[in-house]
Amino acid sequence: MEDFLSHYAAVASADGSYVKLYLQQHTGAILEGTWYKHAQQWVFKQIMDAGVAALPTPLAAAMSPDDHIRLFFVDDEMVIQEFEILNGEASIGSFCTVNAKLPEVAGLSAVPNHSGREQLRVYHPGEDGYLQNYGLSSGSWERPAGIASQIDLQSPICSVNSNPSDWGVPCIKIFYRNRSSELKVLEWNGSASGLRAETTPFYSLPESARFAAAYTEARGSSSDNISTPAKVMLFVVEDGQLMVCGKNGNATWSPPLAVSIERDGTNIAAVSAREGDGTNDVHVFTSEEEGQFVHRILRDGEWEDSVINPAELLANPVAVPILIPEMRLGAGGRGDLRIGPSSGNNTNSNTKPAVHRDEIGSISFVESLKDVGLTLGALGETDKQFSHIQIPHDEDHEHIVMPKLQQATYEDSMDRLTFFYRAAIDQTSSLHKASLIDSDLPGFLSLSIMKLRYRWSNPRQDYYPPHLDQGIFRNILDIFNFGGIFKQDYLIPIVELFAKSVPWSFSEGLTGSGAPWLFDRSKPVTMAGIQSATKQLHNSNNGKGRGIYTKDTIGDDPHWFTDEKFAQQHFSGTNPTTIRAASNNWVGSFVRTAKAQGISGFERQVMAARKNLFVQDYSYFRASMGQKGSYDLSYTSTLQDRFTDLHGLFFHERYACASVVLFELHDDGHLHPLAIVLDYKEDDIKLQGHRYEKTSSGAMQNSVVIFNKKTSPSQRHDEEHDWPWRYAKMCAQVSDWHRHEIAIHLVNTHLVEEAAIVAMMRTVEEKHVVYRLLKPHWVKTLPLNHAARLILMPAIIKPIAGFRPSDVNKFTMDAYKNFYWEDLYIPNDLKLRGFPNKESELNGNKYRNYSYARNMVVMWDIIHTFVGKVLNDHYKNDDAVRNDAEIQAWVQEMQSDHGAQQKHFPDIKSRESLINVVTMCIHIASPQHTAVNYMQEYYQTFVPNKPPSFFKPIPKTPADLKKVNEDFIISSLPFVPPSFNLLTPLKNTVGVGNVWLLAAHLPHLLSEEVHAPLDMSSYSDQAVDIETRSGTPGSIKAAEEFRTRIKGLTKVFDAHSGKMTVKVTPSGYNVMNPEKMAVSILI
C-alpha cells in the first residue's frame, strides 16, 4: 500500500464504543477498519472493489446518531460519489445526482449538521476558488451559495460540528489552506449571516502539509490543550512533525505543541469518540511506510499509540470478543458486571434485562463458575478451599451477576482475589496445553508450523515488549474447540470477576475486618498499632493466622523500621540486584549538598570511607520515560475511571518518587544509610550506552536531600521517632517497589525469558542439545505470563503504582530495551557493581550479609559447569557453534526488529559464548527469579515496609520534610476510614483501602511455595534421567556431578545464612535452597 493524498476518513459511534477508519489501497480498493474499544482490537474488510473510485481519491465520511455512515469519494471523472453503510449493508447513495466535480484531486469533507432541517454537509473546493458546500435534507441534496473564500484548489479540507457552539446554536467549523498558504477556519451557525473566519496559528503552510480536526465535549484552558483537552483540537503534519493546538469558544488558539515525528505528506484523520459522561477520547491516524498507519489515542491528557498493518489484518483476521461487561449505575451507584452466554456475534442482544437485587439468589461460588468454563475439579484443591464463597446469581442460573462490591470483609476479598487469580492461571495453562503450546506432549511439529504457532506480538498494539501473540489461541480454538470446552470469550469473565471482587470499602465480619488498620477501632491508627495488629493477625486462629497473614512477615519484627533492617533489604530483600559502588559524581553531589545544608563532618566521613560507598539509584526513572527532572511522578484517577474502566480499579491519587540512597559498607558487614534523596529532580541523568549515569557532581539544588543523624551503625539514636528520616526511607522503598516489580521482576525475568522461549521455539528443533538443556526451565512460563498480562499488570500493578499507566508502559519498554545480557552474567554483574565475584573473596566478614551474592556466585558456577561440560561434549570447537544454523537463527530472532527486539543479546560465535547464554537463560528462570520473587511475602505483605505509592505529594523543600510527623506518614499510606460516599471527590476517601489490599495481596499471590517435582533439587534428578535417555557418556557424567553439587547446596546456603549478623526471616536467608528454588518461572 502506498500513500495517497488525503485518502483517510474517520468516524466514531455515538456511544464511543467503536471507531471506523476508511482508506484506499494501492490497488484502488477501499478498506473499512473498525477499532472496538472493549477489545482494543482492529478488524479490516474491503468494502469497495478496485476501479470504482479514482486512484487516488480523497475520502470523507460522516455518521449520524443512528450509526448511518455516508462515505464520499470521487470516480475517474472526478465526480463526487456517495457510499451509504447502514447495519453492515452498503449501497450507492444519492449524492451522484448532484453531479458535483472536483477541479483536481483536492480536499473533500463531510460533517453531520444539527442545525435546522439539514442532516449533513459536504464541502469541497470549486473551480472558481470558492468553497463549495451541499446540504442533505429529507433525503434530498441542495446546493447553497458558495462560500466567498479564496481556497487553494489542492488544499485538504476538514470540518467538525461543535454542538452547541459559543453562539448558543450548533456551529460547523471548516478548515482549509488559502492561496496565501494560511490555515484558515470558517465558522457557520446555519444562518445566512452567521459566518465568520479566522486564522489558526499556522500562517505559512506548505503544500505537503496535512491537517485534521476533532471536536470534544471537554472545555480545556486556552494554553494547555493536551492535559485538559480543548473543545476544538487541530492536528497538523508540517515539516516532519505532528503538531496540535486547541481552542475554546472565543478564546485564542493555543500555541502548537509537537506530538511526534512524521513524514512529510503523511495522511491524517482525526475523530473524537464521546464517552457516556460527556468526556472524549480523541483518535488521530497518520500514515506510515509499507501501508501501515499509526493509531494515536489522547486519553486523560496522555497519548497512547500503536502501529497497524491493514494488509496483515486482512490476511489474518482476528475474532473480536463479545462486549460482555455491562457497566451500569444501580442502587447506590453500584456498577454491575453481567456475564451471559456467548452468541458468537459482536452484540449481546440475548442478555436479559438487568436483574434487581431482590430477584437475585445466591448459589455456590464454584457451581456458578460453570457458566464461565470452570468446572468442579478443574481447579482441584482450590474448589474445596473456596467452596464456602457465595456469589449473586439470577433465578434461572443463566447469568452471573457480579456487582462491583460496595463493602466486603477484608478476608473475603482476599479469598476472592486468590480464587480468581488461580483460576486465570489454570485457564491459561489449560488453553496453552490444548493448543500444544507449553505442552508436555512430545514434539512432532515442524519448525514451519512452530513459526505459525509461536508468533510475535506487536509492541505498538499492547505496549508490552514482544511476546507470544495471544491471537493464536483464538485461531486454534476456532478450528479445534474440543467439544466447546473453551468459549470464544474464554478469559474475559475471570479477569472481570477478579476486578469486580475488589470492594469500595471494608466491613467487619464475625471476627472483625481482617484489615490491619481496622483491627482495633477503639484506638487511633498509629504505625506501632499497624505493626501490632499485623502481628496479632499472624498469631491469631491458634497460631495459623488469618487471611494472607499465615506466614512470617517483617511486620512481626518490632524493629522493622530501623536503619539496619532497611539497609539489609538491599542485600537480601526482594531487590538485592542493583546496589552498586557510588560514582565520583554521586559522591561529589552528596558532599556539595551537605555543605550547602551546613552538615558538618559529612565530607570527612565519606572521604575516609570512599571505597566503601554504595548507592541504590532510582534517579533514572524520569529519563527512562523521556521526561525532564521537573516531571511529576504521580497519577490521579478521574470519576469517570470508576465507572467506565473495565477493571474498575482506579482509586486514590497516587505519588511515586525517584530516590537515591547513599550507603557505607562497614568492614563488619553492616550496610548503613548515610543520606537519601527523596525524589531526584536534576537533569543530569543520561543514557550512556545501555546504562543511565549521573553526568555532573554539583549540589542537588532541585531535590530534597536528608542526611542521617545516625552516622554509624553503633551510634545510639531514637530511630522510631525520627519521622523525617523514616519517611525518607519509605520514599526509597516506594522507588524500589516500582523498579523491582516492573523492571527487575517482570521485565528482567518473566518477559526476557519469554522472548528467549518464543525465539527458540521458532528456530530450534526439539532434538537440539540446547533445547534439551533449556526446556525443563520453561515449564508454565508462557501461560503464567499470559495471565500476568491479563490480570497482574492491568488489575494490580497499574492501579496501585504511583506512575501514570502510560509511564508504566514506557518504563517497561525501557527496561526491556536496555537489558544487557553479558553485563548481567553474575560474575560480570557483581564486578560492574563494585563487589567481588569470586566465592573466596565474598567469604570474609565484609560481605557476610550479602547472601544473595554469595549464593549466586556458587549457583552460577554449578550451572555454568554443567552446561559447559554438556555443550563442550557436543561441540568439538568454536567453528561448530558458528556453523550451527539453528543457534545462529535463534540469535537473529532474538536481535531482530521483527522478533524479540533484544538488541543486546550476544552474538554466539564460540563455545564459551553459547555456554554463557544458556547458563544465563537457566539463571534467569530459576535462581534469579526465585531470589527476586519469593521474598515478596515476607517484605511486602506488611505494606508500610514497602508501599507501592504514596497518597500525599512528596515534600518539595527541606523545610517541608522537617515538618513530617507520624500523622503525615499515616495519611500517606494507602488506607482510609471505612465510611465513604461513592461520589465524593477522589482526593478524599474512595477505595484507598483497596490499594493496601492489592499491595499486600500481590506478594502473597506470587509467593506460593515450590514443591517437587518443580524444585531445583528434583530437577537435578531429572537432568540425570534426561541425559541418560538422550545424551552421551560425557553429558551423563556431567549431570551426575551437577546433581551431587545441587543436593549439597542446602548445607552451603544455610552456612551463608548462619554467618549473617542481620536477621532477615526467622529461618534465615534460605529462599535459594534447592528444595525451595523453582526450576522455572512458575508464578
Note the pLDDT tens digit of each residue in 498-531.
766 777 666 664 445 556 655 565 677 888 888 8
Residue scoring higher pLDDT (872 or 215): 872
Note the pLDDT tens digit of each residue in 608-666.
999 999 999 999 999 999 999 999 999 875 544 443 343 444 456 789 999 999 999 99
Q: Are the beta carbons of 663 and 676 closer than 8 angstroms?
A: no
Q: Which amino acid is at 86?
A: L
What pLDDT shows up at residue 422?
81
Residues 6 or more apart in contact with residue 450 via CB below 8 angstroms: 761, 762
Confidence class of residue 842 from pLDDT cuts 50, 70 and 90? very high
Long-range Cβ contacts of 638-641 (<8 Å, 24+ apart): 638/279, 638/300, 638/986, 639/277, 639/983, 639/986, 640/275, 640/277, 640/279
Note the pLDDT tens digit of each residue in 266-275.
789 989 887 6
Residue scoring higher pLDDT (222 or 254): 254
Give percent of the chain above pLDDT 70.
Answer: 76
Confidence class of residue 996 from pLDDT cuts 50, 70 and 90? confident
Confidence class of residue 182 from pLDDT cuts 50, 70 and 90? confident
* Enclosing H/E stretch for 699: none
Q: Are the beta carbons of 588 and 697 closer than 8 angstroms?
A: yes
For the chain, give the mean pLDDT: 80
Determine the 3-state secondary structure of 806 from DSSP: helix
Note the pLDDT tens digit of each residue in 68-97.
899 999 888 888 888 888 766 677 777 776
Q: Are the beta carbons of 267 and 235 closer than 8 angstroms?
A: no
What pLDDT shows up at residue 826?
98
Confidence class of residue 533 from pLDDT cuts 50, 70 and 90? confident
Pairing of strands 120-125, 131-137: antiparallel
pLDDT at 874 over 80: yes
Q: Which amino acid is at 827?
A: P
Residues 6 or more apart in contact with residue 528 via CB below 8 angstroms: none
What pLDDT shows up at residue 381?
35
Residue 964's φ and ψ, nearest 5 degrees, are -65, 130
Domains and CATH numbers, the chain: 9-315 (2.120.10.70), 331-433+445-505 (no CATH), 563-1058 (1.20.245.10)
CA Rg value for the chain = 31
pLDDT at 397 over 90: no
Long-range Cβ contacts of 442-446 (<8 Å, 24+ apart): 442/766, 443/766
Dihedral of CA atoms 753, 462, 578, 934 in degrees, nearest 10, equals -60
Q: Are the beta carbons of 26 and 2 closer than 8 angstroms?
A: yes
pLDDT at 348 over 90: no
For the record, the C-alpha cell of 1042 comes out as 551437577
- Determine the average pLDDT of the residues in 772-793: 92
Report the range of poorest mean pLDDT among 328-342, 789-803, 804-818, 947-961. 328-342
CA distance 828 to 699: 32
pLDDT at 951 over 80: yes
Beta-carbon count within 10 A of 12 CB = 22
pLDDT at 1083 over 90: no
For the record, the C-alpha cell of 437 comes out as 503450546
What pLDDT shows up at residue 799?
83
What pLDDT shows up at residue 729?
98
The sign one gets for the Cα dihedral 286, 289, 291, 297 is negative
Q: Helices 563-572 and 723-738, interaxial angle, to 10°?
A: 10
Note the pLDDT tens digit of each residue in 288-339.
877 788 999 988 777 888 889 898 888 887 766 544 332 222 222 222 322 2
CA distance 311 to 672: 59
What pLDDT shows up at residue 932?
97
What pLDDT shows up at residue 335?
29
- Determine the average pLDDT of the residues in 730-736: 98
Note the pLDDT tens digit of each residue in 896-922.
999 999 999 999 999 999 999 999 999
Residue scoring higher pLDDT (327 or 188): 188
CA distance 121 to 107: 14
Instruction: Give the burial class of 227: count Cβ atoms within 10 A of its Cβ; 0-12 exposed, 13-18 middle, 19 or more buried.
Output: exposed
- Determine the average pLDDT of the residues in 242-254: 79
Give percent of the chain above pLDDT 90.
Answer: 44
Ramachandran area for residue 874 (φ above 0: left; ψ -120 to 50: alpha; else beta): alpha
pLDDT at 361 over 80: no
Residue scoring higher pLDDT (993 or 922): 922
Report the range of poorest mean pLDDT among 300-314, 334-348, 407-421, 552-566. 334-348
- Determine the average pLDDT of the residues in 1026-1047: 96
Confidence class of residue 402 from pLDDT cuts 50, 70 and 90? very low
pLDDT at 468 over 80: yes
Bond before 1013 cis per omega within 30 degrees: yes
Q: Are the beta carbons of 105 and 90 closer than 8 angstroms?
A: no
What pLDDT shows up at residue 914?
98
- Determine the average pLDDT of the residues in 763-782: 95
